[in-house]
């Protein structure tokens, strides 16, 4: 039986504020005290320790400093928060600085040893690992269709991530009749007890047929073969119930706060999609 308090501590210690060993070209990690700033992707990213370590006016100044770095670059930035973080008024102060909350997600975990069921795909569907640029472009087209917003940037991000860490970033597609109908990733974090499930998206016509369950089972078996104890998912409201039925348990909540520089005409660009959603 998993001890969730111990797992939450391990999650904070092992997965947060982590700078990868193999960085894709053009991606920069800047670790400054309790803040990790990532730039060079389609939008910036800010990660913090569980306790940011400052409060009040000092916290406001820290938030403005991170925001202004990306403002100078003309880039949007996501500040990732968790419900157990300190100080408790961090979300309010992010909002006051112009960061808007996106949809909250539930961080869920499960033991890989308990997820070893044989993947069962719907009739006519095949699954394989994606390696090529054309695969990544097809995945980007799938995401564009699913989320009704331009995800052409995703092809570059997948290609550079896989090229930098081909044994740790695994991308999968499910196909039917030559069409990519679902895609997802499995990401290993060396030196930790966790692997992450990311990017699960399925075309509307193919939801409700067990595709997501099959893709979770396949990734769980691969993680178990690598000796990884736990799978972790940032699950949306769509995927969380499925994951709970598979044996995942809630660990904490995460809410992305996004600051976006005004685009042409003063409109903000659409928020990023959930990490693992629109799956069934």
Q: Which residues of 181-212 are buried (b: 16+ CB within 10 A; e: fewer)?
A: bbbbbbbbbeebbbbbbbbbbbbeebbebbbb
Q: Is 120 domain-assigned? A: yes
Whether 75 is covered by a domain: the verdict is yes
Q: Are residues 134 and 260 in the same domain?
A: no
| Residue 243 counted as domain residue | yes
| pLDDT band at residue 273 using 50, 70 and 90 as cut-offs | very low
CATH, residue 240: 3.40.630.30
Same domain, 64 and 169: no
pLDDT digits (tens, 9 = 90+) for 114-162: 987 788 999 999 999 999 999 999 999 999 999 899 999 999 999 999 9
Q: Is residue 273 part of a domain?
A: no
Is residue 275's pLDDT more than 70?
Answer: no
Residues 121 and 240 in one domain: yes
pLDDT at 57 (0 to 100)? 98
Give the pLDDT of residue 271.
45
Alpha-carbon span 72 to 211, nearest angstrom: 42
180 and 162 share one domain: yes
60-94 pLDDT per residue, tens: 999 999 999 999 999 999 999 999 999 999 999 99
> Above pLDDT 90, what percent of the chain?
86
| pLDDT over 50 (residue 267) | no
Residue ranges in the chain assigned as alpha helix (H): 4-15, 56-73, 90-96, 133-147, 153-164, 211-225, 240-246
Residues 164 and 248 in one domain: yes
Q: CB under 8 Å to 205, separation ≥6 — which residues?
A: 181
Within a 10 A sphere around the Cβ of 57, how many other Cβ atoms? 9
Q: Is residue 9 part of a domain?
A: yes
Residues 137 and 247 in one domain: yes
Does residue 276 sit within a domain? Answer: no
Q: What share of the chain is helix, strand, coil (3-state, %, to 5)?
A: 35, 30, 35
**Residue 231 located in a structural domain:** yes
pLDDT above 50 for 228? yes
Cβ count within 10 A of residue 114: 14
For residue 94, the SS3 value is: helix
For 7-65, write each residue's pLDDT tens digit: 999 999 999 999 988 888 899 999 999 999 999 999 999 999 999 999 999 999 999 99
pLDDT at 249 over 80: yes
Q: How many domains would you assign to the chain? A: 2
Whether residues 126 and 241 fall in one domain: yes
Note whether 134 and 156 are same-domain residues: yes
Q: Are residues 132 and 20 in the same domain?
A: no
Q: Mean pLDDT score of the chain, rounded to an integer?
A: 92
122 lies in the same domain as 214? yes
Question: What's the domain range around 168?
Answer: 110-252
Asked if 256 and 79 touch (Cβ cutoff 8 Å), the reply is: yes
Specify if 225 maps to a domain: yes
The answer to whether residues 116 and 58 belong to one domain is no
Q: For the whole model, what pTM was predicted?
A: 0.90
If asked whether residues 61 and 122 sit together in one domain, one would say: no
pLDDT (average), residues 233-253: 95
């Amino acid at each position: 039986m998993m001890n969730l308090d111990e797992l939450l501590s391990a999650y904070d210690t092992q997965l947060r504020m982590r700078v990868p060993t193999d960085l894709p070209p053009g991606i920069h990690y800047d670790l400054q005290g309790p803040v990790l700033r990532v730039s060079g992707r389609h939008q910036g990213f800010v990660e913090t320790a569980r306790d940011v370590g400052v409060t009040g006016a000092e916290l406001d100044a820290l938030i403005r400093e991170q925001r202004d770095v990306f403002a100078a670059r003309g880039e949007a930035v996501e500040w990732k928060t968790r419900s157990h973080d300190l100080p408790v008024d961090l979300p309010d102060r992010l909002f006051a600085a112009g960061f808007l909350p996106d949809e909250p997600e539930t961080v869920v975990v499960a033991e890989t040893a308990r997820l070893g069921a044989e993947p069962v795909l719907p009739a006519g569907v095949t699954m394989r690992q994606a390696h090529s640029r054309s695969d990544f472009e097809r995945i980007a087209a799938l995401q564009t269709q699913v989320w009704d917003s331009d995800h052409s940037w995703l092809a570059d991000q997948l290609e550079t991530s896989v090229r930098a860490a081909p044994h740790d970033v695994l991308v999968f597609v499910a196909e039917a009749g030559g069409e990519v109908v679902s895609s997802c990733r499995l990401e290993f974090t060396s030196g930790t007890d966790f692997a992450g499930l990311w990017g699960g998206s399925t075309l509307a016509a193919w939801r409700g047929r067990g595709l997501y369950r099959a893709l979770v089972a396949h990734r769980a078996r691969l993680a178990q073969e690598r000796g990884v104890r736990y799978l972790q998912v940032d699950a949306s409201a769509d995927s969380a119930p499925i994951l709970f039925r598979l044996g995942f348990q809630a660990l904490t909540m995460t809410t992305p706060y996004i600051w976006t520089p005004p685009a042409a005409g003063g409109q903000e660009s659409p928020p990023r999609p959930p990490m693992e959603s629109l799956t069934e």
